[in-house]
A and B are shown apart, each in its own frame.
Chain A
Amino acid sequence: MKKKPVILLLLLILATGWIRFDQPIHKPRPVNFVIPKGWPKPQYDFSKNPLTEEGIALGKKLFYDERLSRDGTISCGSCHQQFGAFATYDHPLSHGYDNSLTTRNAPGLFNLAWQKEFMWDGGINHLDLQPLAPITAMNEMAETLPSVIHKLQSDKTYRQLCKAAFGDENMNTRRLGMALSQFVLQLVSSNSKYDRVMRGEDHFILPEQLGYAIFQKKCESCHKEPLFTDFSYRNVDIPLDPFLKDIGRMRITNDRGDSLKFKVPSLRNVAMTFPYGHDGRFFSLQSVLEHYRNIHGNDPQTDSLLRNGLPLSNFEIGQLKAFLYTLTDSSFLKDPRFAAPGMLFNGKPPADIHQ
């Protein structure tokens, strides 16, 4: 009888020991990356940066944190707006630090796991490194990396989030990029009407069906399904802008043959990512298609597939547009997992979208 309380006490000590032992070993909860059926293998190496709920949460906080910019007014999300498929809605160029403008149209952010190179000229070779460009560009967030890292290291919340995601509080450039990658890799857009039709869950109406046939005949060779880009760089006969003087891919390769080549953009969510073109010079799908059908192919630098122009009748343009609208993924545009903190969703851009 006397032994019982002793045993109980010992058990209690053991139990408290177990609790104390268990607390510091908090493991981040892994997240599985789902590849939509029939899609190719992603380019991103998830084994080097395993997705976790904590990593994604840290990435999301960073994505929407204006303190990543020099004057604390611009976040990644300022120019990559969810209602615009994470492009800058209705802006040919985006607004940067101190009344500056970018020199290129902000691309929509989705399906980045399948992308090997980033920027219109493909100059950046790893998703984790991509955020460093806008953070440090003087016409974007205009910050320095040491200053950003200092701000994050001085912030208790970030230190805690960093520990939860990566095991210790040491917030550095590498983890900044890895966490942001974890968040933006979640931005998978694969649930448009087109996708539902392909899965046999929906049907195209006649103009969409006819437009899809035209698309497959005239657009598919560059805007390859299911990602709607082949990730190549092409000169589509857009003349050099005399102010921007942007030579595109040639800036990276120094190869004259790459002059005025830009990455083929995905057409997913294309109805939401206007204006179009690397510098946003086309304000509507109509103006893009007008450009294509008016190419005369006199320039030997123009892509060989467009050398003879891209004949399109008014009738065909109407059908093509009907098809392109089926690429809008409204569940992606409204997905609360990606929403800016405090954003209420009614599925529409805010009334005052100009900032």
Chain B
Amino acid sequence: MKRITPIVIFAVFFFPGFVMPSYSQSYPVRNITVHFHNRIGNTPLELGKQVTNILGNEITIERFRYYVSHFSVVTSDNRTIPLPEACFLIDEEDSSSRTIRLSIPDIPITGIRFLLGVDSLKNVSGTQTGALDPLQGMFWTWNTGYIMAKLEGSSPEAQTAGHRFTYHIGGFRKGMETARNISIPFQQTVTQLTTLHILADINQWFTGKSILRISETPICHSPGALAVRIADNYQRQFSLLSLQ
């Protein structure tokens, strides 16, 4: 017994399985790339180019950005396995940002899940770095909190200076939450996944759950009921385009 005790202690405290509670011990790891394709209906998004949205309004989009975080995969027996915590800023202006790399467990999976936005804890824990650095322009300094997603542009519909519409959607306090859980089912069990193409359809901002008319509400700049309404719309913007 005396000889075994230190071995047991050693095993309990130093065995990697106890030290690093992560999926990587139980499964081999696979590196995959996820491409986000921003579109308006079937038209690939081109900043500064006029298009017609689903409501028949002529719009010119100048900026489109959103956070994605808390990725997880869904197994064939319907378990959700969270991936190591990471947050990415998808920015239409920066083409490299639209491709992200994830390490997933190398097991058969049936879908992927993530959070559109930034979790509430990171909204109350001081200054973050990297994609969440406030200098990325996705942060309200006067009313602490992240802008989960922003869509800016112009439209003859907008009765504002320069016919500009600006939707800065954020809010994490109770009743004002704008981060949304997204689920992308594959409709099949996939092994040896290498690449995912995810579609983000801006049309959903205008018609996802309720109608958003640029003529009526061209601006959203603070947390509140309007932001929540738009978040309920953009929750539906994602769908699976293809996978390999």
* Chain A residues within 8 Å of B, Cβ to Cβ: 48-49, 119, 123-129, 132-133, 135-137, 144-146, 149, 172-174, 176-178, 251-254
Contacts and interface: CB of A to CB of B under 8 A. Distances in A.
Most B Cβ at <10 Å: residue of A135, A173, A176 = A173
B134 A145 contact: yes
Given A124-B142, A125-B144, A129-B144, A178 B127 contact: yes
A174 B143 contact: no
Contacts of B128: 174
Contacts of B124: 125-126
8 contacts: A49-B126, A123-B143, A126-B124, A144-B135, A172-B129, A176-B127, A178-B126, A254-B176
Contact of A146 (B135, B141, B176): B135
B105 interface: no
What interface size band does chain B fall in?
20 to 34
Contact of B144 (A126, A145, A254): A126
Contacts of B176: 254
A344 B133 CA distance: 38
A7 B86 CA distance: 55
A1 B126 CA distance: 65
Interface of B: 123-129, 133-135, 139, 141-144, 173, 176, 222-225
B126 A126 contact: yes
Contacts of A176: 127
Contacts of B144: 123-126, 129
A129 B143 contact: no
B143 A136 contact: no
Nearest to A123: B143
A35 B176 CA distance: 36
B133 A119 contact: no
B223 A172 contact: no
Given A126-B124, A174-B133, A253-B173, 17 more contacts: A123-B142, A125-B124, A129-B141, A132-B127, A133-B141, A136-B141, A137-B141, A144-B135, A145-B134, A145-B135, A173-B129, A173-B134, A173-B135, A177-B126, A178-B126, A254-B176, A254-B225
